[in-house]
């Protein structure tokens, strides 16, 4: 595909097009034109004007490295775009790498036997192993999972992610992308939850903004 030349105001705008690329209006400045590509970075330069690289929000939770005229950068900032090696927009503590991939984060905590039912883990209260903790994507408080390969473990593509607590009651979810997560336990018969307890009985955390560790679940045996 040949490079496209477009007049933008008083300057000449050079848009480098590549295979599998379509050309459309720039969402920040309709007078400009950008080259959009799913497989390669978008490139935009304006003759005689400085350019900067930004991590452009795609609207589907992902980001793509593009080059824009420096003058248009403030408009991109207002759309949630960031910069390489900088913080993910509105996600304090998250950072992009040089390819605009957000650093992965972890949600973790411990499941424990709340012997006195006070909602706090006290000295001598042991962890509870083999309890299922899950990330509730649709907010219904129920684990939606289908064991597609019959291995009794969660695998990508099988529904809502879950894990079992270890021998000491600990659990963790790793390699999570920026976003808000609803963390639930699957309550077992004969037990009552004391932490986090009513009215929500779960944790709602935004990674990079809220604390993602020490999300503990306490339970007391009934009867």
User: How many domains is the chain partitioned into structurally?
Assistant: 2
- Which CATH number belongs to the domain containing residue 152 in this structure? 2.60.40.10
Coil, strand, or helix at residue 34?
Answer: strand
Least confident among 28-32, 70-74, 96-100 = 28-32
| 89-131: pLDDT as tens digits | 877 778 888 889 888 889 999 999 999 999 999 999 999 999 9
End-of-domain residue from the set 95, 116, 140: 95
Give dist(CA 221, CA 223) in Å, integer. 7
The reply to whether 8 and 28 lie within a common domain is yes
Least confident among 77-81, 126-130, 158-162, 198-202 = 77-81
Closest among 69, 33, 24, 29 to 49, alpha carbons compared: 69
Q: Express as a percent the part of the chain with pLDDT over 90.
A: 47
pLDDT at position 219 over 80: yes
- The mean pLDDT value for 195-223 works out to 90
* C-alpha separations of 128 from 24, 170, 173, 218, 222 in Å: 56, 8, 17, 9, 15
The reply to whether 143 and 84 lie within a common domain is no
Q: Is residue 100 domain-resident?
A: no
Boundaries of domain holding 39:
4-95
* C-alpha separations of 89 from 11, 167, 178 in Å: 31, 38, 10
Q: Is residue 50 domain-resident?
A: yes
Q: Is residue 116 domain-resident?
A: yes
Has this prediction a pTM greater than 0.85? no
Averaged pLDDT of the chain: 80
End-of-domain residue from the set 33, 64, 95: 95
């Amino acid at each position: 595909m040949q490079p496209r030349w477009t007049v933008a105001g008083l300057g000449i705008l050079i848009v480098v097009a590549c295979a599998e690329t379509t050309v459309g209006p720039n969402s920040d400045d309709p007078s400009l034109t950008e080259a959009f590509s799913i497989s390669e970075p978008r490139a935009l330069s304006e003759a005689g004007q400085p350019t900067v690289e930004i991590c452009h929000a795609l609207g589907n939770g992902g980001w793509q490295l593009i080059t824009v005229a420096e003058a248009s950068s403030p408009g991109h900032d207002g759309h949630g775009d960031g910069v390489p090696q900088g913080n993910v927009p509105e996600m304090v503590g998250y950072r992009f790498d040089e390819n605009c991939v957000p650093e992965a984060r972890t949600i973790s905590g411990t499941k424990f036997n709340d012997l006195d039912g006070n909602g706090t883990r006290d000295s001598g209260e042991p962890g509870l192993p083999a309890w299922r903790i899950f990330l509730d994507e649709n907010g219904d408080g129920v684990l939606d999972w289908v064991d597609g390969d019959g291995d009794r473990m969660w695998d990508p593509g099988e529904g809502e992610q879950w894990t079992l607590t270890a021998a000491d009651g600990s659990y963790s979810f790793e390699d999570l992308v920026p976003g808000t997560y609803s963390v639930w336990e699957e309550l077992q018969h004969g037990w009552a939850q004391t932490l986090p307890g009513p009215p929500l009985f779960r944790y709602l955390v935004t990674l990079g903004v809220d604390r993602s560790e020490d999300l503990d679940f306490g339970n007391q045996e009934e009867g």
